[in-house]
Amino acid sequence: MLFKLVPIFLLCMVKFVVGVPALYAATKWGFLPLFLLSSVAGISGVVAFLFFETWLSKIWNQLKSRFVKPSAPKPQKRFTRRNRILVKILRKYGLPGLAIITPTIISIPVGSILAGRLFPDHKKVMLHLSLSVIAWAALLSGILTSGIKW
């Protein structure tokens, strides 16, 4: 059973909206165990990727200061449709808006890294993202264990 849960736990850390139904399909657990394990997995992903972003940012700044010349021209930024939507959400709703869409629409790694880069208060970022993961875990667990046939 443990060998079945570890990959699904890791999947919940990365792509939450796919991991919770996979966890339910593999275990057929009730609401509470499904909710608890998926919440722990999602929050572990938030903490891990937020820590990874901080560490990676420090290393990147050290390498950039060592190898990049200050007079090098910056490449022009490309704006895709997805980037424009994210910018609109960030401008209109800020961190709470980003936290709401992180577990489902964008993945936990992308949302955690993006929030860590844009918002300097990592405790606040971790709180918002964790609350969002808990809310989505409750919603998805409730839907999956309610017995509704799709």
Q: For residue 26, tell me if it sits in a domain.
A: yes
Q: For residue 86, tell me if it sits in a domain.
A: yes
Number of domains in the chain: 1
Confidence (pLDDT) at 11? 93
Could you state, in chain order, the average pLDDT of each consecutive group of 10 residues for the chain (150 residues)? 86 92 91 95 94 84 78 72 82 92 92 89 94 96 84
147: left (phi over 0), alpha (psi -120 to 50) or beta: left
Confidence (pLDDT) at 133? 96
Q: Which domain holds residue 105?
A: 16-67+79-145
112: closest CA among 34, 30, 56?
56
Q: For residue 72, tell me if it sits in a domain.
A: no
Q: For residue 73, tell me if it sits in a domain.
A: no
- Is the pTM of the predicted complex or chain greater than 0.85? no
Q: For residue 125, tell me if it sits in a domain.
A: yes
Q: For residue 132, tell me if it sits in a domain.
A: yes
